[in-house]
Amino acid sequence: SHPLLCPPGIKCGGVLSAPSGNFSSPNFPGLYPYETECTWLIVVAEGSSILLSFSHFELEYHDTCAYDYLQVYNGAARDQGNLLGTFCGHSPPPPFSSAWHVMAVVFRSDRHVAKHGFAAAYKKDACGGQLTGLSGEITSPRYPESYPNDAECRWSIGGAGGGGPLTLVFADFQMEGGQGCGFDYVALFDGPTVTAPRLGRYCGSARPPRTVSSTPHLLIIFKSDFNIGGRGFKAHFYSAGECQEVFTTIKGNFSSPQYPNFYPNNLKCQWSIQLPPGYRVKVFFLDMELEGRSSLTGGCDYDHLSAFDGGTENGSLLGQWCGQESLAPLTSHSNRLLLVLHTDRNTAKRGFSLSYVGVVPMNVSCTRTDFHIQIPTQSLAQLERNRIYLGTPSCAAQVVGRNFKIHTRFDTCGTESQRRNNTSVIVSTLYIDFSVGDQEDVHQYEVQCEPKRKEASVTLIAGPDPSRLSQAENLVDAQQWEGEATNAREIKSQDTSDIVFISICILAGLLMVIAVVGLVLL
């Protein structure tokens, strides 16, 4: 779909399908022509990978490579999610190992300044190489068949631009054993070279532990001796920070890697939100654009974002989304929520941005004259009671046993009467002030009572960013909390005001009877 812009008679680009081969810029080692665009598509047998290396490299230099450049793609060209890097100047690109059996190289020159260009070589199923994606997979040669003897492979992971530590997880591991792992082994180094601290050396059939680097680089060396092999290994790596995060704060926000630019392909990213017991997690989707639904199945079969209740992928699926959608807020049923982004090997989009806020566990009930609010102190353990108030700071909570409690009459604490859906309701605002230092952070909940039915509800109206939260959800329906707390719709407070009211009526009736009898007797 993209023409090769080359002067007549110049051989440029094409499809390379042999198990190994070489290619170079037009006229190499002479100067390359101006206004040239060439695309080489390397395609080997499915299930294989490609190792690409450069023996010579000299292009016109620019700090963002805006003039002449070479681009390497982990798959078909022109999909930004597959781009491994853009290069120019005199520093050759590192060796690249593809994640699958297709790789593309694009060379482009402008109308000024020509250099000698580049020479490159590729081979199928060569092990090792430079891996720069935010996530990827590494396997021993010929996996899951037995690996060859006398093999040595080096994978250098890093330079993705994220700058965070790397995590390596082995999904399968079976190699020749031996004390000290002197025969066949996998060695891990906390940096780009063998001079970096060693993180471990493994052999046998026990799967190595999950490994996290302290730098943005990780070196993996696989070595086999002259006899006795095994199935080898399969491992996944991902860059922590952009792609793998755990949140424990009451509110937060995050986005897909490289947002609002296109996210990379071949990702599996996880964001885990873990709040104190009793809390629930409310998520606000600020922006979403992923690859669309499958035209065959109508499902999110390609790239998708999933939400799981309970913090693991074994939890109940709360939703799965793709394409360009405007989503209503989502509230978890427990204090843990896991969001997982899967992207396939092509067609990347802008991604997503979201924020979340922890919904404080509380019990709100009402009579015909009063509000009763209860919050377990363990849920707000770091807060003083005066940080929790209804309407005005003068109506602060009291500590009673293991709860913060607010018990107030409707004619105080900024309470007002409103008509909603032709029903008279009493409304006030509960403030919970999480501010620290100069960082103001006040969460607001609307508490509402329908006095005739003595039914109360509570709604989060401001949390992570009040300007964003136009859609408030009623939070009482699925309210779960532990210990002494009970559901607001189940609790029926003893309504002392009703008893007083009835007593006054009876007393007035008796006085009227006495007065009438007195008049008759007179």
- pLDDT beyond 60 at 491: no
Of 68, 96, 125, which marks where a domain is finished? Answer: 125
Say what the pLDDT of residue 148 is. 87
Sign of CA dihedral 404, 408, 410, 416: negative
Decide the pairing of beta strands 244-247 and 268-274: parallel
Sign of CA dihedral 475, 479, 482, 488: positive
Closest by Cα among 71, 28, 56 to 121: 56
Q: Give the mean pLDDT of 179-193.
A: 93
Q: Give the mean pLDDT of 307-331.
A: 91
Domain-embedded: residue 153: yes
Say what the pLDDT of residue 500 is. 47
- Verify that 230 and 251 share a domain, yes or no: no
Alpha-helical runs (H) found in 175-295: none
DSSP symbol at 381: T
Q: Give the mean pLDDT of 407-417.
A: 92
Say what the pLDDT of residue 8 is. 53
Share of the chain above pLDDT 70, in %: 84
Using an 8 Å Cβ cutoff, are 289 and 259 in contact? Answer: no
Q: Give the mean pLDDT of 280-298.
A: 93
Domain-embedded: residue 390: yes
- Verify that 202 and 253 share a domain, yes or no: no
Name the more confident of 333 and 495. 333
Quote the Cα angle for 73-77-83, to 5°: 35
Which has the minimum average pLDDT: 80-89, 199-208, 258-267, 468-477? 468-477
- Verify that 17 and 119 share a domain, yes or no: yes
User: Which structural domain range is residue 82 located in?
Assistant: 13-125
Q: Give the mean pLDDT of 165-181.
A: 88
Provide the number of structural domains found in the chain. Answer: 4
Say what the pLDDT of residue 433 is. 92
Structure tokens at 60: 């016109």
- Verify that 158 and 106 share a domain, yes or no: no
- pLDDT beyond 60 at 490: no
Domain-embedded: residue 458: yes
Using an 8 Å Cβ cutoff, are 101 and 48 in contact? Answer: yes
**Position 160 confidence tier, pLDDT thresholds 50, 70, 90:** low
- Verify that 21 and 105 share a domain, yes or no: yes
Helix (H, G, I), strand (E, B) or coil at 17: coil
pTM value? Answer: 0.60
DSSP symbol at 316: P
Closest by Cα among 274, 278, 259 to 338: 274
Strand partners, 420: 423
Domain-embedded: residue 462: yes
Domain-embedded: residue 502: no
Name the more confident of 497 and 232. 232
Of 359, 389, 406, which marks where a domain is finished? Answer: 359
State which H helix or E strand residue 15 sits in.
Answer: strand 14-16
- Verify that 445 and 423 share a domain, yes or no: yes
**Position 76 confidence tier, pLDDT thresholds 50, 70, 90:** confident
Report the C-alpha gap between 159 and 257 in whole angstroms.
14
Report the C-alpha gap between 73 and 53 in whole angstroms.
13
CATH number where 83 lies? 2.60.120.290
- pLDDT beyond 50 at 91: yes
- Verify that 207 and 274 share a domain, yes or no: no
Mean pLDDT over all residues of the chain?
A: 83
Say what the pLDDT of residue 200 is. 95
- Verify that 383 and 343 share a domain, yes or no: no
Sign of CA dihedral 346, 352, 357, 361: negative
Helix (H, G, I), strand (E, B) or coil at 174: strand
Residues 6+ apart with CB under 8 A from 18: none
Of 125, 155, 188, which marks where a domain is finished? Answer: 125
CA trace torsion 65, 69, 75, 77 (10° rounding): 100
136-146 per-position pLDDT tens digit: 778 888 888 89
- Verify that 46 and 91 share a domain, yes or no: yes
- One DSSP character per residue, 423-465 reads EEEEEEEEEEE--BTTB--EEEEEEEEETTTTEEEEEEEESS-
Decide the pairing of beta strands 129-131 and 152-158: parallel
Say what the pLDDT of residue 304 is. 96
- Verify that 338 and 377 share a domain, yes or no: no
Say what the pLDDT of residue 74 is. 83
Name the more confident of 515 and 165. 165
State which H helix or E strand residue 512 sits in.
Answer: helix 496-521
Residues 6+ apart with CB under 8 A from 43: 15, 16, 17, 101, 102
**Position 363 confidence tier, pLDDT thresholds 50, 70, 90:** very high
Structure tokens at 81: 């999610």
**Position 167 confidence tier, pLDDT thresholds 50, 70, 90:** confident
Residue ranges with strand state E in 159-225: 166-174, 185-189, 198-202, 211-212, 217-223
- Verify that 455 and 434 share a domain, yes or no: yes
Domain-embedded: residue 475: no
Name the more confident of 462 and 35. 35
Share of the chain above pLDDT 90, in %: 51
Closest by Cα among 170, 179, 267 to 222: 170
Q: Give the mean pLDDT of 228-237.
A: 88
Domain-embedded: residue 34: yes
CA neighbours closer than 13 Å in the CB half-sphere of residue 183: 13
Report the C-alpha gap between 379 and 92 in whole angstroms.
56
- pLDDT beyond 60 at 161: no
Q: How far apart are the first and last CA of the chain?
A: 112
Decide the pairing of beta strands 442-450 and 423-433: antiparallel
Strand partners, 188: 200, 220
**Position 427 confidence tier, pLDDT thresholds 50, 70, 90:** very high
Say what the pLDDT of residue 348 is. 84
Say what the pLDDT of residue 163 is. 65
Domain-embedded: residue 5: no
- pLDDT beyond 60 at 501: no
Sort residue 111 into left (φ over 0), alpha (ψ -120 to 50) or beta: alpha
- Verify that 108 and 145 share a domain, yes or no: no
Structure tokens at 275: 């709040």
